Structure formats: structure tokens, C-alpha cells
Amino acid sequence: MYKLILATRYLLKRRITYFAVLAVALCVFIVVVVMTVMAGLVGEFKQKNHDFSGDCVVGSESLVGFPYYEDYVKKLDASELVEGVSEVIRSYGLLSLQGRDRTSGVEIMGLDPARHSRATGFGDTLYHRRDDIAQAFVPSYDANLPGCILGIDLALERDPNGEYAYDSSPRRIGFSISCFPLTARGALAGAGTALANTKTFYYSDHSHSGLARVDDSIIYLPFDEAQALCGMSGQTKRINAIHVKFKPDVPLKAGCEEARRLWSIFKAEKANENQAYLLDTVTVQDWKLYGRALIAAMEKEQLIMGVMFGFVGIVTVFIVLVVFYMLISHKSKDIGVLRSIGVSGFDIIELFSGFALMVGLAGSSLGVLGGWQFLLRINSIERWLFEHFEFQVWDRTMFAIGDIPSAISPRVLAMIVLLAIAACLIGALVPSWQAARLKPAETLQVNQL
């Protein structure tokens, strides 16, 4: 009982312990805020990638694509594990705004909007046609014109607050799109003036996926139009990818294994076909593997952050260690007195470990409370900083994020608190152990001199 009383009094009455509590609180505060924001950004980024890709992508990185896909799609559609399948054309082209000289490179994605929305989160990224996805490529101002959907950053301007200048309905804008069709062998299919296929499409909607790489470079075209434009609609039609969504209760791994199994059967069936060699370039990847180039970079950043904050934890250990050394050197008389009334060395370790536990609990509680309050207001603080000092943590004209993520994960929070307490206990361990080894006669004698 005396350990509890003394540890509590040391915590409340010694000014130096306030510094230890403050140090722990600051470290916890920083870690809570940064880890929450970072985990939120990574989580959001992964979710957006998942929404963009669907659960699984069967595709080739080659621009030539692969043939006979209709038979494989039939197999997927017939599978009990599959909920949605979408065939996709992916290529590159040149985009010119009608009536202007400016031409820029663009990534083309040909798809059927209704089928693609069943396989991915595409439908939710639309603005004007969100409630009528099948009509996404039909411009509202003239249903007879061929429509196209632009990545939002190709279509709209964004102000520094991250707000887009939305129109109530799409403006009539024509885009001339040129593609360079390839043969099944990968050579340019045309020559001279027929080198490129060019067609004009009209702005019917925009897509906001939340992925900067997608929103500022992709133009979506109707599947058949894109296939023709890319020279993939000949006698043997080709596509570049098939996006697949599995039923909700199907584990990702099991779904991908089924897609692979069906692909093996399909490939064996087509082994004697003319362009069967193109099937060798096709891989079956889950959405994480498909987007690994970007996701891995984000996860690495998160890992580096974790390591950096590991160092913050080590600093906490040292701060606590120094404070405890100072405190114990002040308290050597108390230790001598306690030993003189029969308290054991182990009890002394327990006393100071209990004290460290209290410092850890008090510091991490304050840090968590402060971090939580800060995160609740992080977006309004950022807005205030921008309004008054034009300082913005993430420039919304460059980064495809809306608000800064601020949803605290209880699991992360518990882990941070436990680590903070562990850091305090580790920091207090050596001084406590040394305190327990103090010879009472020496401490009492020294204090008498």
C-alpha cells in the first residue's frame, strides 16, 4: 500500500515528474496524430485503389492485349464466386481540344460503364450520370454524339481549398482522340496518313476516383469505340484487361485462385489458336498486387514513419531514464529510510516501477486526449492556417485528397499507449534497479554528512 501512496505522491508533488509526464504526453500526442493521419491516408489510398481495380485483374501489360477473351469471360460469369466482370481496353493516345492547337498525351480506358460498375467502384466516381450509369457515355446535351468521360482533373479546375468548380450539367466540349493501332505482333498497324485512328468524342461526364494518377490522365471511352480506335476490333478481337469482383463472402485469395484455375483451363483450350502466344503475357493478380507500385510506396512511407517514431520512443525512454535518475538521486534518503524499516530491494524496484507506470499512464492519457482533440479539429486548423497564413499541409491542387484523415483507430491508440507505458517502464528499470542496490547505510550516512 505504501508503494501506491508514495508513487502517487512522487507523481503529484515532485515538479520534475511533471516534465517526465509532459515528455511522454508530447511523444504520444505526436505519434497519435501522425500515425492516425498516415494510417488514414494509406487506408484511404488502398480503398481507392481497390475501388478502381475491383478485386482481381486478369490482364497483360502489353499494349497489344490478348484475344479470345469472350470465352474466358463466359467462364467467369458462370462461376459462383464471381459477382461482376468487366472487359477493358487500355492504351495511350493524343487528346486535342476541338478548336485549339494544344495536344496532350492521355491514357485511354475503354469500358462498358454498367458492367464496369458491377466489377469496380467506377459508378460512384461519376458526377452527372451516377444514377444512370448505363447512359454515362451519352452527352446530356445531344444523345446522338459519342460521349467520353474525363478524369476530373482533366475536366475541372480545382481551387487551393481542394474544391472543384462543378457545372450543373456537362458543357458541350469535343475532344479529338488519336490512337496508334498495333498488330497482334506489336507492330504499328497503319502507315502514312493511316498511322493513327482519330475520332471526336464529347464530354458527357467526369470521374473522380480520388487517385491523382488516374484522375489527371485517363479518359474513358465506350468499349466498342475504344477497341476500334486501338485496332483491337478486327476478326480476332483483343482486350487488355478483365476486372473481376467476387461475391461479398468470397475471400480474396480463394477468388483469385478460382480466376487462375479458370484461366489455366481457358488457356489450355486455346493452345492451338493462331494468337495463343498472346495469352502467355497475361497474369491474374489481386488488386493489391495490381497496384503494388503505388501501394508499396505508401506502405514503405508508413513503415519509415513507424521507424522514425520508434526513435521518438527511444527518446522517451531516455527522458524517463534521466528524470528517474535525477529523482532517485534526490530520493536516496527515502530509499535508505525504507530499507531501514524492512523494505526489500525488490519492493524498491516495484515502488519506482509503479511510479513509472503512473508517469506512463498520466503522460499517455494526456497525449491521447490532446491528440484526439487535435485530430477532431485538424481540418479546421488547416483551413484556418490557410486562410490566415496561406499555409497548407497538402496542396489540394496537387494531392487528390479531400480532408485530412482524422479517424482514430482504437487498436492503434491502444498500441501507442502500451508502447508509451513500456517505454516508461524500460526507462525506469535501470535507475530502479540501481536504487534497489543502494546500501542503506551509505545513503543514510551520506545524508548525515
Our CB check for another protein shows the closer of 10 and 246 to be: 10
- Map the footprint of another protein across residues 346-375, applying CB under 8 A: 347
CB of 15 to another protein, least distance (A): 13
CB of 421 to another protein, least distance (A): 21
The cell numbers describing 444, all together, are 543514510
The cell numbers describing 135, all together, are 447512359
Contact 280, 270 (CB under 8 A): no
Q: What residues form DSSP beta bridges with 148?
A: 203
Helix (H, G, I), strand (E, B) or coil at 112: coil
CB of 358 to another protein, least distance (A): 13
> Residues 36, 41, 47, 50: is their CA dihedral positive or negative?
negative
The full DSSP string for 150-206 is EEHHHH--B-TTS-B---SS----EEEEEE--B-TTSSBS--GGGSSEEEEEEEEEE
Phi and psi torsions of 110, nearest 5° = -100, 130
Residue 326 sits in the site that holds another protein (CB under 8 A): no
Using the contact rule CB under 8 A, the part of the chain among 44-52, 221-229, 418-426, 439-447 near another protein is 439-447
CB of 325 to another protein, least distance (A): 19
Our CB check for another protein shows the closer of 220 and 352 to be: 352
Q: Which residues of 36-54 are buried (b: 16+ CB within 10 A; e: fewer)?
A: bbbbbbbebbbebbbbbbb
Q: Which of 6, 42, 173, 361 binds another protein (CB under 8 A)?
A: 6
Distance CA 447, CA 449 (A): 6
Using the contact rule CB under 8 A, the part of the chain among 9-17, 71-79, 107-115, 364-372 near another protein is 9-17
Q: What is the DSSP letter of 404?
A: P
Using the structure block, give the residue that is written with the C-alpha cell 484475344: 67
Phi and psi torsions of 93, nearest 5° = -155, -175
- Rg of the chain on CA atoms, in Å: 32
CB of 321 to another protein, least distance (A): 22
Our CB check for another protein shows the closer of 299 and 334 to be: 334
Residue 169 sits in the site that holds another protein (CB under 8 A): no
Strand 218-222 and strand 103-111: the pairing is: parallel
CB of 306 to another protein, least distance (A): 39
Residue 15 sits in the site that holds another protein (CB under 8 A): no
Our CB check for another protein shows the closer of 329 and 340 to be: 340
Residue 9 sits in the site that holds another protein (CB under 8 A): yes
Our CB check for another protein shows the closer of 342 and 410 to be: 342
Q: Which of 4, 194, 398, 415 binds another protein (CB under 8 A)?
A: 4
Contact 17, 10 (CB under 8 A): yes
Distance CA 107, CA 224 (A): 16
CB of 320 to another protein, least distance (A): 20
Residue 444 sits in the site that holds another protein (CB under 8 A): yes
Our CB check for another protein shows the closer of 11 and 413 to be: 11
CB of 31 to another protein, least distance (A): 32
CB of 24 to another protein, least distance (A): 21
CB of 211 to another protein, least distance (A): 58
The full DSSP string for 210-240 is S-HHHHTTEEEEEHHHHHHHTT--SSS-EES
Q: What residues form DSSP beta bridges with 360?
A: none
Our CB check for another protein shows the closer of 274 and 344 to be: 344
Q: How many residues bind another protein (CB under 8 A)?
A: 28
Using the contact rule CB under 8 A, the part of the chain among 2-10, 134-142, 166-174, 321-329 near another protein is 2-10
CB of 342 to another protein, least distance (A): 3
- Map the footprint of another protein across residues 332-351, applying CB under 8 A: 333-334, 336-345, 347
**Cα torsion for 201, 202, 208, 211, to the nearest 10°?**
30
Q: Which of 10, 52, 175, 309 binds another protein (CB under 8 A)?
A: 10
Q: Which amino acid, one-letter code, is at 231?
A: G
Our CB check for another protein shows the closer of 294 and 326 to be: 326
Residues of this chain that interact with another protein (CB under 8 A) are 1-2, 4-6, 9-10, 13, 333-334, 336-345, 347, 439-441, 444-445, 447-448
